Each structure stands twice: as structure tokens, then as C-alpha cells.
Amino acid sequence: KAGVTQTPRYLIKTRGQQVTLSCSPISGHRSVSWYQQTPGQGLQFLFEYFSETQRNKGNFPGRFSGRQFSNSRSEMNVSTLELGDSALYLCASSLQPSDNEQFFGPGTRLTVL
Amino acid sequence: AQSVTQPDIHITVSEGASLELRCNYSYGATPYLFWYVQSPGQGLQLLLKYFSGDTLVQGIKGFEAEFKRSQSSFNLRKPSVHWSDAAEYFCAVGSYIPTFGRGTSLIVHP
């Protein structure tokens, strides 16, 4: 069974641009969560989706948004990029929201210049 | 609110030596506890987890962790470290949206 896949793996953008990151969960997994990882703040929860609905959201500005499709694939979008958005964005999937074990993808490394 | 503290930012050990990575947590109820490992450029891989039952938990790659409620700790151990264990290790607490510690970087000397 294939693991969680994230595309692209690396991305370079400039301030003010927007970016869309994609995550394909493990087959059969219906819950997808997104995390931002930076050296300064560590791993921080962004949001979680299940059945195309956002169930939980972390403490991030509205520039960060996401969605989930009927096949459980998820995208996150960051608009009006700032230098501080440079980070590794990790996606994790689980069978159900109540499932306590998440499987992480390799992440997308976003660099904002 | 739940929180996790990993007191050691870096740990250096010699190959073949034993290892213990510390983790202290704050959680209102019986905690769900996790240890993850992250190799450079990779995502997080679950090493082991504790939900209930036996307080000594066995994980993958020869790792184990012990839950001590009285000390609010969940330390990760390995009896003999291999060079391939060099990585970043994260402790996490919580249910399906865990709170992560800041990580401990393990350096292994030959």
C-alpha cells in the first residue's frame, strides 16, 4: 500500500504570491491533517479535513486555507506569501478522525524569497 | 491545555551506547503519547505509541518507551544505538490532533 504522497516536494515563491500544495492520503484513509514545521516554532497544526469538511483548525491567519475532495485528496493554499511562511508543510492521514495514529508524508519544502 | 517538553535539544552518543531521550508532558486526562522520528528531508515516522495498559511500550527499530504517570514522563530508550539512528526525535501528546515537542536531535559518533 502506497504511503502519503505530497506534491511538489520543493517550491520556491516570492513574497505576495500564492501557493497550492497537494496531499494524497493512504488508500482508504479519509482524514487528512496539515502541519507546518519551522525551526523557530516546531510542528504546528494547521487544519484537519474529513469527508470534505474542515473539522479542526489551528491558530493560523486566514491566508492559510485548505480543502478536501471526494477522493480524500487534500490541498492547502497560502495566499499573499510572507517570508515567515517558509517551512516544511507536512500532511498526515488516518482512517478516521478518531483514529489516534497518523501517517505522515515526506512534506513540501516551501521557500519564500 | 496539553503541552510537551523535550529538555534536550541535542544528544550525542557513540555507536553501540545506550540512549535515553526525555519527554515530559502536561495533559488533563490519561494521555495518548507518541514518539516519532524524522530523518533529514523526510516526514515523521511513528516509532511507538501509548494509549493505555502496560506502561512499557515496545516500538519499531528496537526502541521502547516507559510511561510514568507520577513523573508525567514518557522517555524513549534504546539499548544500543546504530549510526542510522541519527535523526530528529519528537515526542507528542494528545488525541488525533497531537501537540508536538520541539524535538531532540540525535548525533551518533562512530
Q: Report pLDDT digits (tens) over A48-63.
A: 999 999 998 999 999 9
Chain A: closest CA distance from residue B45 (Å) = 7
* Residues of chain B neighbouring A106 (CB-CB closer than 8 A): 41-43
Residue A97's pLDDT is 77
Domain count within chain B: 1
Residue B31's pLDDT is 84
Band of pLDDT at residue A98, cut at 50, 70 and 90: low
Residue B86's pLDDT is 97
Q: How far apart are CA B76 and CA B91, in angstroms?
A: 9
Q: How far apart are CA A24 and CA A72, in angstroms?
A: 7
Q: How many CA atoms lie within 13 A of A37 on its CB side?
A: 26
Q: How far apart are CA A57 and CA A85, in angstroms?
A: 17
> Cis (ω within 30 of 0) for the bond into B31?
no
The answer to whether A55 faces chain B, any CB pair under 8 Å, is: no
DSSP code string of A8-77: -SEEEE-TT--EEEEEEPPTT--EEEEEEEETTTEEEEEEEEETTEEEEE-S--TTEEEEE-TTS-EEEE
CB B106 within 8 A of CB B9: no
Restricting to A residues 59-88, those with a Cβ less than 8 Å away from any Cβ of B are none
The answer to whether B51 faces chain A, any CB pair under 8 Å, is: yes
Cα nearest neighbour of A93 on chain B: B96
pLDDT, greater one: A103 or B96: A103
Task: Work out the average pLDDT over A26-41.
Answer: 93
CB contact under 8 A, B102 and A42: yes
pLDDT at A1 exceeding the cut of 80: no
pLDDT 10s digit of each residue in chain B, 110 long?
789 999 999 999 999 999 999 999 998 777 899 999 999 888 899 999 998 888 999 999 999 999 999 999 999 999 999 999 999 999 999 876 789 999 999 999 98
Mutate to test the interface with A, among B96, B104, B105 (most CBs of A within 10 A): B96
In which domain, by residue range, is B27 found?
Answer: 3-109
Residue A21's pLDDT is 98
Q: How far apart are CA B87 and CA A22, in angstroms?
A: 26
CB B93 within 8 A of CB B106: no
Give the three-state DSSP class for B70.
Answer: helix
Task: Work out the average pLDDT over A101-106.
Answer: 90
CATH number of the domain at B40, please: 2.60.40.10
Give Cα A17 distance to the centre of its chain: 18
Band of pLDDT at residue A80, cut at 50, 70 and 90: very high
Residue B96's pLDDT is 64
